[in-house]
């Protein structure tokens, strides 16, 4: 079966990497200053962070329409037998559900939607592995098994400079009282059952970052080959320093740097930073 991989823009896989592995991308959008932009198509992360410095009111984000998915799947149906469409967690966006609905409307290609239960480069790693397998002619079932294996090994922790964007956008799942007690600190956040919840209350950015590194260390010290991505919201220099330090410390971990683009940064805000790692 000839299979193609689709993922959405929130994986933030650079264009040249998508092209190298023949990964199709469907964009989510942000509404900024009254204008709608498809991220990674007509708004880059750099442009978004520049715009945000102008003090616009908080942008909003939206998922691709079902029609857009149908169009994409129909185009792919002319060349492929199956599509595996890998999306950000269904607990924070309706994108995955959009792919499922569109799949039921298209006859020319078999559509398998996959809920990454996460986002950003963790989802990106899934899409890249899936695309490599599709290129080797692997069947969708084998690709799904690999995705589940990666998912089971995935860890991701992140922190934001200011929790209020996440709270206002309704993407922080926790009791209101708990959120109140977190607003003045830098809690570490992670995903549990598809939604974002606080992992630990930590007071300072430095301590939160060190805690992420310790958590990575617990897995990296087992010596198994891992891949990891440091993900930042306009903090590239800081991310590069971490990459240098951590690569020396953990030679069994393949580190890369990725970013929070417009849609995710709408909810996390500039200055957010996180890390994901999983089996290589
Ligand atoms: C939509 O409008 O459908 C998109 C909503 C996106 C919510 C994003 C919430 C933050 C996700 C953080 C991911 C961190 C992964 C390491």
Q: Quick one: which atom of ligand 1 is closest to the CA of 95?
A: 3
Q: Higher pLDDT residue, 62 or 181?
A: 62
Q: Of 37, 93, 159, which is best to mutate to test ligand 1, by the most ligand atoms within 8 angstroms of its C-beta?
A: 93
- Domain 3-28+63-152 and domain 155-279, same fold? Reply is no
Q: Is 156 in the pocket of ligand 1 (CB under 6 A)?
A: yes
* Alpha carbon of 92 to ligand 1 centroid (Å): 6
Q: Which of 29, 31, 264 to mutate to test the pocket of ligand 1 (most atoms within 8 A of CB)?
A: 264
Q: Tell which CATH architecture fits domain 3-28+63-152.
A: 3-Layer(aba) Sandwich (3.40)
**How far apart, in Å, are the Cα atoms of 40 and each of 6, 9, 28, 126, 197?**
15, 7, 9, 19, 27
With a threshold of 0.95, tell me whether the complex ipTM lies above it. yes
Give the residue ranges of DSSP H helices in the chain: 15-21, 45-52, 66-77, 95-105, 120-135, 140-153, 164-168, 176-182, 205-220, 236-249, 262-268
264 in contact with ligand 1, CB cutoff 6 A: yes
Q: Confidence band (pLDDT; 50, 70, 90) for 246?
A: very high
Cβ-count burial of 225 within 10 angstroms (0-12 exposed, 13-18 middle, 19+ buried)?
Answer: exposed
Domain coordinates of the chain in residue numbers? 3-28+63-152, 155-279
Nearest CA to ligand 1 atom 8: 264
> Both tokens of residue 3?
């299979």
3.40.50.300, 3.30.1180.10, 2.60.120.10, 3.40.190.10: CATH of 155-279: 3.30.1180.10
The Cα 29–Cα 175 span in angstroms is: 28
From the alpha carbon of 156, which atom of ligand 1 is closest? 16
| Cβ neighbours of 146 (radius 10 Å) | 16
Give percent of the chain with pLDDT exceeding 70: 97
pLDDT tens per residue across span 184-207: 788 899 999 999 999 998 888 899
Per-residue pLDDT of 114-127, as tens digits, reads: 999 999 999 999 99
């Amino acid at each position: 079966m000839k299979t193609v991989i689709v993922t959405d823009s929130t994986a933030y896989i650079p264009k040249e990497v998508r092209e190298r592995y023949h990964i199709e991308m469907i964009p989510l959008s942000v509404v900024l200053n009254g204008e709608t932009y498809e991220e990674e198509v007509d708004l880059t992360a750099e442009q978004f962070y520049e715009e945000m410095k102008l003090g616009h009111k908080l942008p909003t984000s939206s998922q691709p329409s079902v029609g857009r998915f149908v169009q994409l799947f129909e185009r792919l149906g002319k060349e492929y037998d199956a599509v595996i469409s890998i999306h950000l967690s269904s607990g924070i966006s309706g994108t995955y559900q959009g792919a499922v609905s569109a799949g039921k409307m298209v006859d020319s290609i078999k559509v398998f939607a996959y809920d990454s239960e996460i986002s950003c480069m963790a989802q990106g790693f899934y899409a890249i592995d899936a695309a490599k397998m599709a290129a080797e002619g692997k069947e969708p079932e084998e690709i799904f098994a690999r995705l589940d294996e990666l998912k089971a090994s995935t860890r991701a922790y992140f922190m934001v400079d200011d929790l209020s964007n996440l709270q206002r956008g309704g993407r922080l799942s926790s009791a209101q009282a708990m959120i109140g007690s977190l607003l003045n600190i830098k809690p570490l956040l992670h995903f549990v059952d598809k939604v974002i919840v606080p992992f630990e209350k930590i007071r300072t950015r430095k301590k939160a970052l060190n805690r992420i590194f310790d958590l990575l260390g617990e897995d990296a010290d087992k010596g198994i080959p891992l891949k990891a991505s440091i993900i930042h919201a306009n903090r590239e220099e800081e991310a590069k320093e971490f990459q240098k330090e951590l690569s020396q410390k953990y030679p069994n971990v393949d580190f890369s740097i990725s970013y929070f683009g417009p849609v995710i940064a709408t909810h996390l805000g500039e200055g957010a930073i996180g890390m994901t790692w999983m089996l290589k």
